[in-house]
Amino acid sequence: METNFFEPTLPPTNVVGKPMDRVDGRAKVMGTARYSAEYPVNGLVHGVLKTSDIAKGKITSIDTTAAAKEPGVISIFTYQNIPKPAKVPSALKEEKKWQAAQSYLPMQDAEIHYAGEPVAVVVADTLERATQAAALIKVSYQVEKPIDSYQDPKADLFDPQKIQNGKTDGRKVRGNPEQAYASAPVKHEATYVHAINHHNPMEPAATTAVWEGSDRLTVYESTQNITMSQGSLANLLGIPRDQVRVVTHHLGGGFGCKGSFWPHTILTVLAARAVNRPLRLVLTRPQMYTSVGHREDQEQTLKIGATQEGKLLSLIHEKKSTTSPWDNYAESNSKVVNMLYACPNFSARYELARANVMTAVWMRAPGEAPGSFALESSMDDLAHQLNIDPLQFRLLNYADKDYSDKGKPWSSKSLKECYTRGAELFGWNKRNSKPGQTRRGNKLVGMGMATATYPVHSAQGTARVRLFADGHAVVQSGATDLGTGTWTVMTQVGADALGLPPEKVRFELGDTRLPTAPGSGGSQAAGTVSSSIMAAAEDLWKKVIDMAVGDKKSPLYKAKPTDVKVELGRMFLKKNPKKGETLVAALSRSGMTDMEGMAMGKYGAGYEEKHFAGAGGAAASPEEPGGKNEKGEEEKPSGHSMHSFGAHFCEVEVDPDLGTIRVTRWVGVHGVGQVLNLKTATSQLYGGAIFGIGSALMEETFRDPNYARYTNHNLAEYHIPVNADIPDMQIEFVPEKDPYINALGVKGIGEIGIVGVAAAVANAVYNATGKRMRSLPITPDKML
User: What is the C-alpha to C-alpha distance for residues 675 and 782, in angstroms, rounded to an integer?
Assistant: 40
Minimal distance in Å, beta carbon 387 to ligand MOS? 38
Number of C-beta neighbours around residue 596 at 10 A: 14
Cα 779 from chain centroid?
27
In this complex, which beta carbon is closest to ligand MOS, that of residue 199 or of residue 709?
199
Give how many residues touch ligand MOS by CB under 6 A: 11
Q: Which of 11, 106, 116, 256 binds ligand MOS (CB under 6 A)?
A: 256
Minimal distance in Å, beta carbon 528 to ligand MOS? 13
Minimal distance in Å, beta carbon 668 to ligand MOS? 19
In this complex, which beta carbon is closest to ligand MOS, that of residue 199 or of residue 464?
199
| Per-residue x/- track, 481-500, ligand MOS (CB under 6 A) | --------------------
User: What is the C-alpha to C-alpha distance for residues 30 and 28, in angstroms, rounded to an integer?
Assistant: 5
Selected range binding ligand MOS among 175-183, 232-240, 327-335, 360-368, rule: CB under 6 A? 360-368
- Give yes or no: 624 in active site: no
User: What is the C-alpha to C-alpha distance for residues 498 and 568, in angstroms, rounded to an integer?
Assistant: 6
- Collapsing DSSP states into helix, strand and coil, what is residue 150? coil
In this complex, which beta carbon is closest to ligand MOS, that of residue 75 or of residue 227?
227
Label residues 207-242 b or e (16+ Cβ within 10 Å = b).
bbbbbeeeeebbbbbbbbbbbbbbbbbbbbbebeee
User: What is the C-alpha to C-alpha distance for residues 366 and 572, in angstroms, rounded to an integer?
Assistant: 46
Minimal distance in Å, beta carbon 684 to ligand MOS? 12
Residues within window 221-240 making contact with ligand MOS, judged by CB under 6 A: 224
Selected range binding ligand MOS among 188-196, 290-298, 363-371, 406-414, rule: CB under 6 A? 363-371
Number of C-beta neighbours around residue 567 at 10 A: 16
Number of C-beta neighbours around residue 39 at 10 A: 17
Residues within window 189-228 making contact with ligand MOS, judged by CB under 6 A: 224
In this complex, which beta carbon is closest to ligand MOS, that of residue 521 or of residue 569?
521
- Residue 499 region, left (φ>0) first, then alpha (ψ -120 to 50), else beta? left
Minimal distance in Å, beta carbon 524 to ligand MOS? 8
Label residues 321-358 b or e (16+ Cβ within 10 Å = b).
bbbbbbbbbbbbbbbbbbbbbebebbbbbbbbbbbbbb
Minimal distance in Å, beta carbon 631 to ligand MOS? 42
Minimal distance in Å, beta carbon 523 to ligand MOS? 7
Selected range binding ligand MOS among 140-148, 255-263, 432-440, 659-667, rule: CB under 6 A? 255-263
In this complex, which beta carbon is closest to ligand MOS, that of residue 366 or of residue 371?
366
In this complex, which beta carbon is closest to ligand MOS, that of residue 366 or of residue 692?
366
User: What is the C-alpha to C-alpha distance for residues 616 and 637, in angstroms, rounded to an integer?
Assistant: 12
Minimal distance in Å, beta carbon 164 to ligand MOS? 15
Sign of the dihedral through C-alpha 20, 26, 27, 31: positive
In this complex, which beta carbon is closest to ligand MOS, that of residue 22 or of residue 364?
364
Q: Which of 23, 120, 363, 762 binds ligand MOS (CB under 6 A)?
A: 363
In this complex, which beta carbon is closest to ligand MOS, that of residue 150 or of residue 255?
255
In the beta sheet, which residues pair with residue 111? Answer: 58
Of 331, 635, 653, 751, which is the active-site residue?
751
Residue 632's contacts (CB-CB under 8 Å, 6 or more residues apart) are none
544 to 6, 12, 588: CA distances (angstroms):
28, 20, 11
In this complex, which beta carbon is closest to ligand MOS, that of residue 455 or of residue 606?
455
User: What is the C-alpha to C-alpha distance for residues 681 and 436, in angstroms, rounded to an integer?
Assistant: 36
Selected range binding ligand MOS among 238-246, 358-366, 549-557, 619-627, rule: CB under 6 A? 358-366
C-beta of residue 557 within 8 angstroms of C-beta of residue 589: no
Q: Which of 364, 394, 421, 466 binds ligand MOS (CB under 6 A)?
A: 364
User: What is the C-alpha to C-alpha distance for residues 287 and 92, in angstroms, rounded to an integer?
Assistant: 25
User: What is the C-alpha to C-alpha distance for residues 84 and 432, in angstroms, rounded to an integer?
Assistant: 65
In one letter, which amino acid is 169?
A: D
Q: Which of 89, 371, 494, 522 binds ligand MOS (CB under 6 A)?
A: 522
Minimal distance in Å, beta carbon 751 to ligand MOS? 6
Q: Which of 89, 471, 515, 521 binds ligand MOS (CB under 6 A)?
A: 521
By CB under 6 A, is residue 362 in contact with ligand MOS?
A: yes
Residue 501's contacts (CB-CB under 8 Å, 6 or more residues apart) are 15, 495
In the beta sheet, which residues pair with residue 732? Answer: 669
By CB under 6 A, is residue 366 in contact with ligand MOS?
A: yes
Minimal distance in Å, beta carbon 687 to ligand MOS? 12
Burial of 630 (0-12, 13-18, 19+ CB in 10 A): exposed
Selected range binding ligand MOS among 252-260, 301-309, 703-711, 722-730, rule: CB under 6 A? 252-260
Selected range binding ligand MOS among 208-216, 228-236, 271-279, 356-364, rule: CB under 6 A? 356-364
Burial of 540 (0-12, 13-18, 19+ CB in 10 A): buried
Residues within window 329-348 making contact with ligand MOS, judged by CB under 6 A: none
In this complex, which beta carbon is closest to ligand MOS, that of residue 201 or of residue 278?
201
User: Could you give the residue numbers annotated as active site?
Assistant: 751
**Residues at the contact surface with ligand MOS, assessed by CB under 6 A:** 224, 254-256, 259, 362-364, 366, 521-522
